[in-house]
Each structure stands twice: as structure tokens, then as C-alpha cells.
Chain A
Amino acid sequence: MEPPRWHTNVLIPCPWCGDREEVEFRYGGPVPAGYPPDPQTVDDRAWARYLYYRPNPKGALEERWVHTAGCRRWFRLTRDTVTHEITPASDASA
């Protein structure tokens, strides 16, 4: 059955379950920088960037979501932060 489209203005394409309402998901935020490969050598400034700085563009943003009320799997997509238009990632599970 089609989900009722009037309920939310963001339909999230789960790579495994298809388009579902936003309320079924938790937001994982912008894709963060990776954990420093050699943390012992990282200075305070680089730690600050790892801990506290995330992309915050007006436009295309690569981000992570988890389908909490569905398959419970994490995936990536690209969403426009003005129009909320979503482009699924070519390798969503990365």
C-alpha cells in the first residue's frame, strides 16, 4: 500500500524498503570526517575539527539516515538543504 503522502513533506528512499515517511527514520547527520588514522599524532585543532565541525552547506549535503522503524539499516543519500530534494547514493550502504 502506498504511504499517505499528505503526512510529511520528506519521503526518504530506503535502499532496501523503498520510499517511506520521514517519521520512520532517525537522522544520522552530515557524513562526518573519518576517525583520525593515528590519533596519537593529532593536535588540538585537528581534534576539534573531528569532534565538532560538520559540513553545513546551503545546497547539496551528503548525509546518513537509519530506518529505525523499518529494516534498521544505515544508509547514505544526498539531500538539498533548501528544496529537501533527495538523490539516493550510488552505493547507499557505504
Chain B
Amino acid sequence: MREPDSPRHLWRNPEPKKAYDVVIVGAGGHGLATAYYLAKNHGIKNVAVLERGWLAGGNMARNTTVIRSNYLWDESAAIYEFSLKLWEGLSAELDYDLLFSQRGVMGLTHSLHQVREGKRRISANQLNGIDAEWLTPEEVKAFCPIVNISPDVRYPILGATLQRRGGIAKHDYVAWAFARKADELGVDLIQNCELTGFELEGDRVVGVQTNRGPIAAGKVALCAAGHSSVLASMVGLDLPIQSYPLQALVSELLEPILNCVVLSNDIHVYISQAHKGELVMGAGMDAYNSYGQRGSPHVIEYQLAAALEIFPIFSRVHVLRTWAGIVDVTPDASPIVGLTPIENLFINCGWGTGGFKATPAAGWTYAQTIAQGQPHPLNTPFTLERFTTGALIDEHGAAAVAH
């Protein structure tokens, strides 16, 4: 396996051509993975990925890198487990050490309701062939010794779900690895290229307008996460999406101290230690719609209070940086992937707070959807039409924290 190169040398920075078979809008993880699998699995290499800012500088740079597949419903379990299986081979596939570490994802419970929900989800996971187990408070302590399981706190730990195959990866490396491989296969990655409109012929999209001129396209595939509503509105397409700030923060660098990912749905925090040493923490969303990429301090205060209840040992740790990403949340907390009412326009959005873990599967299945003009079996349930038919996939309970 090769050591990671400096990102400067990983891809060309070509000028946009006049026309492409497929134009992907958004060079985040999903857009880059989609481009890679279009070229690799379907031989479609005349592809551009347009990025308004710099490559992987949106939510790909802002997420907390948690990877797991322990979702409740069959539809979600299928696509997230497919993703986890792809993760397990991805460093070798992309010839780049992604620092994918299956250190285990533990979901603490602090209320009878969450205990029941957690055990129900474990049963559902096991029926879907996904590893899941229940830990008593003593087993929680044995698995992660710095967790405080004292009954003498405001929200004592009553047990936990554990997915041992869950973990984290280095988000930048994931983006750069997909970008390098896509570039090698002939995909043009075009940064500082902002979409300003669509070219339509009747109900068919035939190209895009950008700040660097018009680009003709056989197919256009949106991959813009929090900004999906903005792009879709340019072509008169409304989406059942609300964009919210989701805040995260990192501490100063510490010696290795936290050996797994810990989530708490009840008291709203998730925390892991990155390879470099910083504690990476995320929490609930801010309450209001925003594209501002910043949130309110009281949300951070709340998540730190929750973290200290679980880990009193971190009481003297300093916060180094805080930020927010704009997450695209659907009414059922499940993504929207597939065709749109506009011919040759495809959409991949609504992954909300959980898009990073889905990166390889989202790219794989979306690429097939684009190549074949019909949904992949794994993303068939996640169409835009489900909001009309009522076939929702309610995954609010399986989110890392209650959003």
C-alpha cells in the first residue's frame, strides 16, 4: 500500500471541456465516489465533477467520520451494510490507506425507552445479518474503561448497543483517494466552478451554466448535500428538504485515550478520537434553517455538558476549533436518490447527518442509476416519489443522536 501523497499531486486541474457525457455537481465524497464508480464500473469516463469551492471542502471536511450500518429498517440496513462492506475493502481498492479503523461504535442508553429501542434495533440488525450486540453497564466499562457508569449521575448508563465492525476513517484521505482514482480514469475534477443554471430543451436537461461558461451534458447528477434545495430551485424542482447547521468540534491533541466511537442518543453527543489525537465531537442540530455554516454557542455548551457526564476524565481538555456543516434533512431522515421529473437530471441528497458513512455505497448505486437511467436495487426505496406514495423509511430513531 502506498503512503498518502501530498494532495497537490493527486489530480490534474483541467479547464472544463465544452461537453461531457455526465456532469456531476458537487465534489464532495458522494460526487467523487459517483465519478469513480461511473468510470470504473460502467466505463463512462467522459465525466466532469464541478465544485463551487475546493474539492471536499464542504460537509466532507466538516463531518465527524463515524461509520456504521446498524440502521433499523431493511431498506436502510441494506444500503448502509453494503457501504460498510465496501469500506472494508476500500483502502486496497483505491490503493490509499484511508485509516479506516473498525474500533467499534457503542450507542449508550440512559432511559428505559432507549434500552427498548436499542434492543429492538439489535434484533432487527441481526435479522439483516449485521453484527450487533447488547452490553450491560459493566460490559460498557470493560469495553471502554473511561466511561463513567456510576448510577449516581443525572442520566445513568443503562446499557449500550455495540457494532464492533463500525468505526472511523480519515475523511480527507477518502476524498483524495476517490479523486485521484477518478482522475486517473479520465474524469475532470473542476474546482472553483459554480453552477448558475441549467440548460433545458423542453423537460430535458442538456447542460449547465457555470461561472466559467456553459457546459453541455448528456446527464446532470446533483450531489450538493445542504445546498440541494438551492440547485434544484434553479430548475423549478422543489425538494422536501430542510437545511440545518450541524455543529462539531475538536479538542487539543491527546495521547491515545478513547478506544472506540461513543454515541449517546439520549443526552446528545457523539465522540471519537482521531488518529492524530484530537477528540472529535458532534451533537444535535441547531433548531433553525441555515446556510451560514455556523451555529449557536449554547448547542456546543449542551454537547460538552453531555460529553463530560459520560467522560469526567475530559473535564480539563481544551476545545481547539468548532464549526458547522449544513445538513440536508428529509421528513423521514432517509436520503433521496434517483430520477427527477426532469429527464436526464438525477438527484442524490437528503443524507442529512449520516452521509459520510454512506459515501462508497451512495457513489456505487448512484453511478448505476445514472448509467442505466433507472434506480439501483439498493436505492429504489429512496425515491422522491415516496413522499407522495407515503412509503416513508423512518430512521429518526437510528440517527446517532435524536435530530
Q: Which residues of A contact B (CB under 8 A)?
A: 7-10, 22-23, 26-27, 29-30, 44-45, 47-49, 51-54, 56-58, 61, 63, 79, 81-84
Given known pairs A9-B294, A10-B296, A61-B289, the reply for A48 and B388 (CB within 8 Å) is yes
Q: Number of contact residues on B: which range applies?
A: 20 to 34
Complex CA gap A9/B290 in Å reads 13
Complex CA gap A88/B287 in Å reads 19
CB distance from A42 to the nearest CB of B (A): 12
Contact: B297 with A56, CB < 8 Å? no
Binds A, one of B10-18, B237-245, B360-368: B237-245
19 A–B contacts from the bound complex (CB under 8 Å): A7-B297, A7-B298, A8-B296, A10-B288, A29-B289, A30-B242, A48-B240, A51-B331, A54-B242, A56-B229, A56-B243, A56-B289, A57-B230, A58-B227, A58-B230, A61-B289, A81-B290, A82-B292, A84-B290
Residue of B nearest to A45 (CB): B388
> Is the contact region of chain A dominated by helix, strand, or loop, or is it mixed?
mixed
Asked if B54 is at the interface (CB within 8 A of a chain A CB), the reply is no
Asked if B389 is at the interface (CB within 8 A of a chain A CB), the reply is yes
Contact: A81 with B297, CB < 8 Å? no
Contact: A22 with B296, CB < 8 Å? yes
> Is the contact region of chain B dominated by helix, strand, or loop, or is it mixed?
loop
Which residue of A30, A44, A58, A81 is within 8 Å of B388 (Cβ)? Answer: A44
Asked if B314 is at the interface (CB within 8 A of a chain A CB), the reply is no
Which residue of B229, B296, B387 is within 8 Å of A52 (Cβ)? Answer: B387
Contact: A63 with B389, CB < 8 Å? no
CB distance from B380 to the nearest CB of A (A): 19
Complex CA gap A27/B244 in Å reads 12
A84 contacts across to B, CB distance below 8 A: 290, 292
Interface residues of B in 231-269 (CB under 8 A from A): 233, 238-243
A8 contacts across to B, CB distance below 8 A: 296-298
A81 contacts across to B, CB distance below 8 A: 243, 289-292
Which residue of B240, B242, B288, B291 is within 8 Å of A82 (Cβ)? Answer: B291
Residue of A nearest to B331 (CB): A52
Beyond contacts A22-B298, A81-B291: 16 other A-B pairs, Cβ-Cβ < 8 A, are A7-B297, A7-B298, A9-B296, A10-B296, A30-B289, A44-B390, A47-B388, A48-B240, A52-B331, A52-B387, A53-B238, A56-B229, A63-B289, A79-B288, A82-B290, A84-B292
Contact: A56 with B239, CB < 8 Å? yes
Residue of A nearest to B288 (CB): A27
CB distance from B119 to the nearest CB of A (A): 31
Q: Which 9 A-B pairs have the closest CB atoms?
A: A27-B287, A52-B240, A56-B229, A48-B388, A58-B291, A52-B331, A52-B387, A48-B387, A27-B288
CB distance from A38 to the nearest CB of B (A): 19
B287 contacts across to A, CB distance below 8 A: 26-27
Interface flags, B291-307, vs A, CB<8A=1, else 0? 11010111000000000
CB distance from B224 to the nearest CB of A (A): 11
A49 contacts across to B, CB distance below 8 A: 238
Contact: A56 with B242, CB < 8 Å? yes
Interface residues of B in 160-191 (CB under 8 A from A): none
Complex CA gap A30/B290 in Å reads 11
Complex CA gap A44/B227 in Å reads 27
Residue of A nearest to B392 (CB): A52
Complex CA gap A10/B389 in Å reads 38
Looking at A7, A53, A61, the one whose CB has the most chain B CB atoms below 10 A away is A53
Complex CA gap A23/B296 in Å reads 9
Complex CA gap A2/B132 in Å reads 52
Complex CA gap A63/B233 in Å reads 19
CB distance from B298 to the nearest CB of A (A): 5
Complex CA gap A51/B389 in Å reads 12
Contact: A23 with B298, CB < 8 Å? yes
CB distance from A22 to the nearest CB of B (A): 6
